[in-house]
A and B are shown apart, each in its own frame.
Chain A
């Protein structure tokens, strides 16, 4: 039994919250208990849910493991993460998704929901056994070839149709492959000057436009990964106005950073889709505020040091995101007045849980609900340092930046994974 004293559920009035047997047992004032946490008026949110995480296990345990990645998730306030399929071997069979799911249970820091590959080996040629993954113990509901686009229109149509049988969703990495061969950064004012091959906005927008039309045609659910351009926002706005069942995510880095950082030639800023221009950043922030973009997802992409300590073209795409996500959302959305905490809870917990069909996460903060909770002090200022990253990798683009907001505590079914801003170490789970 734990009592969280003086916390503000969804940023509202101060209250005490009593947790018992993994659920919220009581919300009131003056609740007494020996085992209490002084919330100091911090914001209490439902545990965050990430729809887009790379945990790298199996295959690249030097960069991240399920355990190290879920520890990073916990310190960032997440209680559930969706592990992307681009592992080695690829998560395209029931066996691999069950392995990842079990590793998550063993680690115990966050619930791990494996994402299944859409096509065998992410090769875009034939469908993986989507039904077997859905029926497995991992109960996969999100399917994605993330890192690769399902660019074949017929295959995409079939995938969208097929997953209806088990209420699945296809999460598309929207990138027209021919338009982005060898691409290194956003195609614009700077790419030409820097001599880095461009990744044009149209390569994302053309695929999103096609996919929303396909989703409409077959009446399926579509999710769009890491939306990065103003044009994509306009297409999503149009699709939603027509009642097409499309949801979309934006990453914290696309809310904060721009392609100007590529001028350093430091591949810490190399990511796919690339960092875009100021107008794109403004558009995705606005779209997230409006709900045209439904959720924030981290695209947490750990990479070993040697894959970033090299020349730009040779470096891997991707950056860490779990540990800094809520602070970046605070910085870019809450502090400027674009979102309140209730809306943050929707976009970082409730809606991602709905899209991923994760039953026990993203629930309201109410008596009888599972005690998956995050306590966040929005005013604490901290300087991000690569050395302080809980991930096994160090590739944070925010090193040296001052961010507002710090996760003080995270509870997974009532059990603390983070207390006083530090991970709770468990000998055995």
Chain B
């Protein structure tokens, strides 16, 4: 593995190796000094063309716990806002000697483009590209599911995962569908038909328009963020109607099996796709997802950079 661009590139062995490594590295977090010397002298650049404080600080924490030097390069306050191209930015980072570039970009395929150009030689980690993928999010989701429902071991074979919401525009949904399939889980996507992409019938998952029907056997319900501007583009008639049909409220939560988890990649629209009482309930593992994000990102950086000599 040279880059992490898409969960479709991960074999089951690759994915398990990341999750197992993350589990080992998680123990560092319990130590008084939360730091390993592994990536000392290596430079990790967080290249963020799109605002995402939570993903950026998660990668930053991960890199710093491995003793890497971290450079944050964001669109605001850099030449990017003056319209510098992806190519020139990449060439600049290459000239500065970046060992890994963590890229968040609003264009689908931007990470892929960076990795397959000769603009940059370091490892490229996709931290979310447009409406394409967000592989480390899917890995931290799988880690969280495994941690709670499989004692942190093995695959997710037989696990029923229901992903609800704006699948059409969700990079989280895409990365999760491919990864969860690789790990043996059964995925069901639930959304209004307007928020499902053409061709979803060829994906390795089930599709349903009925949340009540889908959640009865769910081991995990993952709610996706729904952006308010979708309403203006006629994807659904109103926020209230969306919430009634596709939101996870308290009565719906009650119909979940007792052991089932509620997840959300954040940031949440409380009262829209998820009721506040659900988000704050004992079933919610939303904050565990955040914690596990650091472990998983440490594992990815470790596996992509740790093996090489600087």
Knowing A194-B132, A306-B85, say if A187 contacts B198 (CB, 8 Å). Answer: yes
Q: Are the C-beta atoms of A192 and B199 separated by less than 8 Å?
A: yes
Q: Are the C-beta atoms of A313 and B199 separated by less than 8 Å?
A: no
**By CB atoms of chain A within 10 A, which of B110, B113, B131, B132 has the most?**
B113
Q: Is A241 engaged at the interface, CB distance under 8 Å to the other chain?
A: no
Q: Are the C-beta atoms of A195 and B198 separated by less than 8 Å?
A: no
Q: Are the C-beta atoms of A195 and B171 separated by less than 8 Å?
A: yes
A192 and B197 alpha carbons, distance in the complex (Å): 5
A200 and B198 alpha carbons, distance in the complex (Å): 9
Stretch in B31-39, B101-109, B282-290 touching the partner: B101-109
Q: Is B23 engaged at the interface, CB distance under 8 Å to the other chain?
A: no
Q: Are the C-beta atoms of A264 and B198 separated by less than 8 Å?
A: no
A195 and B197 alpha carbons, distance in the complex (Å): 9
Which residues of B have CB within 8 Å of A266? 113, 116
A416 and B168 alpha carbons, distance in the complex (Å): 55
Q: Are the C-beta atoms of B107 and A313 separated by less than 8 Å?
A: yes
Q: Are the C-beta atoms of A195 and B130 separated by less than 8 Å?
A: yes
Which residues of B have CB within 8 Å of A187? 198
Residue of B nearest to A312 (CB): B109
Which residues of A have CB within 8 Å of B171? 195
**Which listed residue, A197, A265, A309, touches B109 by the CB 8 Å rule?**
A265
**Which listed residue, A184, A189, A264, A310, touches B199 by the CB 8 Å rule?**
A189
Which residues of A have CB within 8 Å of B105? 311
Q: Are the C-beta atoms of B199 and A196 separated by less than 8 Å?
A: no
Knowing A194-B132, A195-B131, A196-B108, say if A309 contacts B199 (CB, 8 Å). Answer: no
1/0 contact string of A182-195 vs chain B (CB within 8 Å): 00100111111111
Which residues of A have CB within 8 Å of B198? 187-189, 191-192, 198, 200
Distance to closest chain A CB from B115 (angstroms): 10
1/0 contact string of A281-306 vs chain B (CB within 8 Å): 00000000000000000000000001
Q: Are the C-beta atoms of A193 and B203 separated by less than 8 Å?
A: yes
Q: Are the C-beta atoms of A313 and B130 separated by less than 8 Å?
A: yes
Knowing A195-B130, A195-B174, say if A311 contacts B113 (CB, 8 Å). Answer: yes
Q: Are the C-beta atoms of B86 and A193 separated by less than 8 Å?
A: no
Which residues of A have CB within 8 Å of B113? 265-266, 310-312
Q: Is A31 engaged at the interface, CB distance under 8 Å to the other chain?
A: no
Q: Is A314 engaged at the interface, CB distance under 8 Å to the other chain?
A: yes
Knowing A264-B116, A311-B113, A312-B113, say if A195 contacts B199 (CB, 8 Å). Answer: no
Q: Are the C-beta atoms of A191 and B110 separated by less than 8 Å?
A: no
Which residues of A have CB within 8 Å of B200? 192
Q: Are the C-beta atoms of B108 and A313 separated by less than 8 Å?
A: yes
Knowing A188-B198, A189-B202, A195-B133, say if A310 contacts B108 (CB, 8 Å). Answer: no
Residue of A nearest to B174 (CB): A195
**Which listed residue, B86, B87, B108, B203, touches A195 by the CB 8 Å rule?**
B108
Which residues of B have CB within 8 Å of A314? 86, 107
Q: Are the C-beta atoms of B197 and A312 separated by less than 8 Å?
A: no
Q: Which A153-195 residues have C-beta < 8 A from chain B?
A: 184, 187-195
Which residues of B have CB within 8 Å of A309? 85, 87
Residue of B nearest to A187 (CB): B198
A151 and B85 alpha carbons, distance in the complex (Å): 33
Which A residues form the contact surface with B (CB < 8 A)? 184, 187-198, 200, 264-266, 306, 309-314
Question: Top 8 closest A-B pairs, CB basis?
Answer: A192-B197, A265-B109, A195-B132, A195-B131, A195-B108, A311-B107, A189-B199, A313-B107
- Apart from A188-B199, A193-B197, A310-B113, 8 more pairs, CB < 8 Å: A189-B202, A193-B174, A195-B132, A195-B171, A197-B131, A265-B112, A309-B87, A312-B109
Pull 28 A–B residue pairs with CB atoms less than 8 Å apart, ordered by A.
Answer: A189-B199, A189-B202, A191-B198, A191-B199, A192-B197, A192-B200, A192-B203, A193-B197, A193-B199, A195-B108, A195-B109, A195-B129, A195-B174, A196-B109, A196-B131, A265-B116, A266-B113, A306-B85, A309-B87, A310-B85, A310-B86, A310-B113, A311-B86, A311-B105, A311-B107, A312-B108, A313-B108, A313-B109
Which B residues form the contact surface with A (CB < 8 A)? 85-87, 105-110, 112-113, 116, 129-133, 168, 171, 174, 197-200, 202-203
